[in-house]
Amino acid sequence: MKRKFEHPAPSEREQLTGPAYWRSLDELQSTPGFRAQMEREFPEGADTLEGVDRRHFMKIMAASFALGGAGLAGCRRPEKFILPYGKSVEGVIPGLPSCYATAMPVRKWAIPLLAETHQGRPTKLEGNASFEPHGGAASLAAQASILDLYDPDRATAHTKAGATVTREQVDQILDTISQNYAATQGAGLAFLAEESSSPTRRRLVAALRAKFPRSVWAEYEPVTDEAPIAAAQAAFGAAVKPVYHFAKAKRIVSIDADFLQTEAGSLAHARGFAQGRRVAKKSDPMNRLYAVESGLTLTGSMADHRLRLSSSHMLSFAARLAAATYQQAVDQLVPYVHEIGVSQAWINECANDLLAQKGAALVVAGAHLPAEVHALVYGINVAIGAVGQTVEFIPIETTPGVSTISALATAIKGGSVKTLVILGGNPAYNAPADLGWAALQKSVGEVVRVGYHVDETTAASQGVVHVVRAHYLESWGDARTVDGTVVPVQPMIQPLFGGLTDNEIIARITGEKTPDSYALVATTITGLAGAGATAEKTMARFLHDGVLAKSAPRPVAVRFSVNGVRQLLGAPKPVIQFSAGNVEVRFVADHKMDDGRFANNGWLQECPDPITKISWDNAILVSPRLAKDLNIEPKGSAIQVARKEEAEFTMGKQSAPVFELTVGGRKIRGPVHIQPGLANYTVIVPLGYGRSVTGRVGKDAGFNAYPARASDAMHVASGTLTNTGTRALLANTQEHWSMEGRDIIREANYEPAATPDGKSYQENPAFVNTIGMESHAPSNIGPVGEKMTPQERAVQIPRGNSLYSTPKFDGHHQWGMSIDLNTCIGCNACVVACQAENNIPIVGKEQVMRGREMHWIRIDRYYSDGQIDGSAFGGEGNKMLPEEPQISLQPMTCVHCELAPCETVCPVNATVHDDEGINTMAYNRCIGTRYCANNCPYKVRRFNFFDWNQRKLDELYLGPLADFGTPELVKMAKNPEVSVRMRGVMEKCTYCVQRIQNAKIQHKVKMTREGKPGDVRVPDGTIKAACEQTCPVGAITFGDILDPNSAVSKAKAREQDYAVLGYLNVRPRTTYSGKLRNPNPKMPDYKPLPHSRTEYDRKNVPPSHDHGHAPAAHGAAKKGAH
């Protein structure tokens, strides 16, 4: 939808109280009770009301009751009001959500989004499907970013030296700066900004620089997610950046690049990668991923061949791969080749595979790697014919005269900076430690800080002017996506606390009297749209589509310059061989906190890390080898001595030893977590935690790694680890890492082994039926039952002799889901999408440690190394931690069993089936016996142990003595279509029943209008569950299984589709498609079976077993449900 709000001038009341949006009469009147509530917040670490003790609180509550009491009509019920609009708002129908296109800017790219708003209140973000490369997906951070809008700890007023100032005073301050520096052409004026892709900002900065040519404009980002320009400059002699087409790539080599998660454009990459990975039938091709990495990233977890290598050795690796792919360059590359412990056969076979798929292969390098590696990778891509096919280059707009934070620091030291304007960012927290930024900032006379939170940077200077920065959902703006397409940033709501955008501030300092952020954007966009375009039409189209058509720059032809690269490579440098005493330290952006910007976001804090599964904390990750050397290897399970765990768990809480990490004389302390799959002597240090000045969510979460990071070693450094002897507790949501040879995730290799064993996908696409209990027994419902519809099955073959009456499943639809384990990359976007859609509360670190997290969908992560000891302890022993594990990821949520074990044990019928096959929860019936959770084989039910929504997380144990109520701002984030649950009730995945019901109703209304009232079946694709909608790889398919042509029916028809724990005869509606691996049989590390299959065989098929039943016999035993 398109619309520009003509916002009326704020009334006197609004100017006084801030929020232009109000939800209740209390808020409108700004009663003391409401204000008290506003300042309250629920997450952990919250103090009592600042300066308000309990007695005082009672007083003001009484005052607000008195105010409310005046209007009470009687004692029979509280009087509620319906507050219609005074003036109707065009296009708004109360009760129906509207969607608007916007975008979330991320460094030099952006994620196009659709925001769902309920009467002007955004509640949910989804990817904008108009931007084809993302196909409607949104990332974990984008899903969660809406919570920041409603963060009660965000800066709520402009301040100067801590005292509130009005908007007019802010304008005056900015005007004064503008006037003062007009004479000196800006000498003494400096700006420090975040990176941005906004064309408008670029235009405004150019104007600013034209007016103040002697000012300093510096940009700083603590982490980088794009290839350095220097590499392209050297290799191609042009300012270009790569745009990858993973969908076309059949062979991919990732050199320390986490292109599926942390690199710029990850959503588009993931989508393309999944297109090449998805296998629906035997004839479908499947791509192959080689990953060389020091850490264990999600990209690495998807790899078919994974090589552990220190990041410092990547140049050497790239040189060897380049030499193997382009023989002519061998002589020139030899000096850069060092002994790094990689077998030449590995590199040769990998190179041969790339060359065999010339034009359909691709090599990518991690953004954190030096330009030399990138330049070599560009060379390899030229050699394997990737350029123009799987990778194209687009010109980038460079802003001339952009300075760095180091140069700015030098200028400040030199005393030449009198006024410093900091736009966003948080340099006092995340600037390189050697700059000593906080002290430098203090030495500047005047500091204007534009920030979303009052943070370390605001606190670093005394007289700082803090200007509230608007959230992107409150701002007019624009941005470019990863391929250069211009997308709008459209406000969904007026700035709740009068925030300003960077653009407005830059424009005002440049001298514009009344900068209107909409007009600023409209000018840019009309300019970009070219001649003949009217501003009105262009903007209408732009805002409606959410993308500016044809705005992506055309790919340019590039010529590889050997000389340029030779110059860049320079003299060969020796490589460091790391050891336990001198480890490689890698600073990485955290999966959730990024560089620390999301520290106060409860959804992200509580979301477990995709790999470590730790929530609310970061940890120094070390390899099992290093752990052994450091003598911190866990002893293993107390019950089963032979089973080795990756961490020490006492009462379910991970107890981690705290180590001191010294990098270049700078020390930090943090808990150590043993992470299988790391390069032996590389430690991974996630940034973004340990914020000292932040809101109540981010406080005390994790440790701060920035103090160990210097400007000469921003990404990779070397350091030493020393044990402090203390321990810290971590909230780890997955205690156990091994599947122990069970059949929960069923895997096969795509191609047959050299000696065919019938176990590969090509040989037996229905391989899942040869694994697990079902392979040894006939189907629970027999061959006849397998062919039945759900109705027939329910009526004719109910569970034997059960008193519980089986539902009839006679609805117009029967809902089901299929999850493709082959494409799931474990990004966790679904977890937070579900949380946003279904009003799922956060519970805080302490409660996560008790296993009380509330996520309806979780991603289980398992390691396997094929080394399971088949004879020990019933074949369940893992006597060592795997160093080179294979990773299997499985999204797990309620599978909506047709014969649900939870239902039969509920004493009050609170969980029952509906006629369309959904296992529903009637919250108001639930009395909280938790029998259902006990009887759930999938462990997907979540219990509200406390009133998470109404109580502060640090006062949970005070019971009724604690404050009660949800802050208004937090209430605004809730989805009005879903009940907010209270203490003592069970909850779980509902297949997004609110979306189903609303879609059914809308369809019926539409069909009735069109004269086809009998058409009540919702067309396939109309309903997307929140997890399915945001999944960048399309791993989740939901729909009507009665319709044989629906996407979900087709997904379930895949031969590798199976029911987890299907032998229980619970007939789950959610089934899984087996995971495939595509290793290269010629590679030296080739294994004919996936490790998990090896472990399964070791445990379940004794060596003497003569494989009496052929695969065909196995195949007769079909999946439990479908």
Element (H, E) at 230: helix 229-236
CB of 1013 to another protein, least distance (A): 4
CA nearest 391: which of 240, 561, 257? Answer: 240
Q: CA–CA distance from 74 to each of 78, 640, 1073 (Å)?
A: 8, 66, 60
The alpha carbon dihedral of 842, 843, 846, 852 has a sign of negative
Q: Between 915 and 955, whose beta carbon lies closer to another protein?
A: 915
CA nearest 708: which of 734, 687, 677? Answer: 687
CB of 73 to another protein, least distance (A): 5
CB of 92 to another protein, least distance (A): 10
Q: Between 572 and 965, whose beta carbon lies closer to another protein?
A: 965
CB of 781 to another protein, least distance (A): 24
The set of residues, in sequence order, having a beta carbon less than 8 Å from that of 588 and lying 6+ positions away, is 223, 262, 295, 368, 684, 685, 686, 687, 715
CB of 954 to another protein, least distance (A): 27
CB of 880 to another protein, least distance (A): 48
Q: Between 86 and 665, whose beta carbon lies closer to another protein?
A: 86
Q: CA–CA distance from 1113 to each of 972, 1053, 1072, 1109, 1117 (Å)?
A: 57, 20, 22, 6, 7
CB of 88 to another protein, least distance (A): 4
Query: Contact at 8 Å (CB) between 178 and 185?
Result: no
CB of 967 to another protein, least distance (A): 18
Q: Between 630 and 902, whose beta carbon lies closer to another protein?
A: 902
CB of 989 to another protein, least distance (A): 12
Q: Between 846 and 914, whose beta carbon lies closer to another protein?
A: 914
- Interacting residues with another protein (CB under 8 A): 8, 11, 25, 28, 73, 76-77, 79-88, 93-96, 811-812, 912-916, 918, 920-924, 977-980, 990, 993-994, 996-998, 1001-1002, 1004-1005, 1008-1009, 1013-1014, 1016
Give the chain's length: 1122
Q: Between 16 and 1110, whose beta carbon lies closer to another protein?
A: 16
Q: Between 417 and 918, whose beta carbon lies closer to another protein?
A: 918
Q: Between 776 and 925, whose beta carbon lies closer to another protein?
A: 925
The alpha carbon dihedral of 152, 26, 123, 164 has a sign of negative
CB of 1039 to another protein, least distance (A): 17
Q: Under DSSP, is residue 972 helix (H, G, I), strand (E, B) or coil?
A: coil
Q: How far is CA 617 from the centre of its chain?
A: 16
Backbone angles phi, psi at 287, to 5 degrees: -75, 170
CB of 914 to another protein, least distance (A): 3
Question: Any idea which residue has 């003949």 for tokens?
Answer: 532
CB of 607 to another protein, least distance (A): 23
Q: Between 573 and 812, whose beta carbon lies closer to another protein?
A: 812
**What is the residue-wise DSSP string for 646-699?**
SS-EETTEEEEEEEEEEETTEEEEEEEEE-TTS-TTEEEEE-S---SS--TTTT
Q: Between 393 and 809, whose beta carbon lies closer to another protein?
A: 809
CB of 755 to another protein, least distance (A): 52
Q: Under DSSP, is residue 417 helix (H, G, I), strand (E, B) or coil?
A: coil
Q: Between 788 and 912, whose beta carbon lies closer to another protein?
A: 912
Please report how the helices 502-510 and 517-529 are oriented relative to each other, as an axis angle in degrees rounded to 10: 90
Q: In angstroms, rounded to a whole number, what is the distance separating the alpha carbons of residues 1038 and 1024? A: 7
Q: How far is CA 360 from the centre of its chain?
A: 29
Q: Between 67 and 330, whose beta carbon lies closer to another protein?
A: 67
Q: Between 281 and 812, whose beta carbon lies closer to another protein?
A: 812
Query: Contact at 8 Å (CB) between 1065 and 799?
Result: yes
Tokens, residue 369:
């790697």
**What is the residue-wise DSSP string for 712-757?**
TBSSEEEEEEEEEEEEEEEEES----B-TT-SSS-EEESSPPSS--
CB of 84 to another protein, least distance (A): 4
Q: Between 588 and 926, whose beta carbon lies closer to another protein?
A: 926
The set of residues, in sequence order, having a beta carbon less than 8 Å from that of 480 and lying 6+ positions away, is 108, 109, 110, 197, 198, 199, 486, 487, 551
Query: Contact at 8 Å (CB) between 485 and 550?
Result: no
CB of 37 to another protein, least distance (A): 19
Tokens, residue 989:
């995945």
Angle in degrees, CA 539, 542, 546, rounded to 5: 145
Backbone angles phi, psi at 909, to 5 degrees: 55, 35
The alpha carbon dihedral of 685, 687, 693, 694 has a sign of negative
CA nearest 1067: which of 796, 779, 813? Answer: 779
Q: Between 387 and 993, whose beta carbon lies closer to another protein?
A: 993
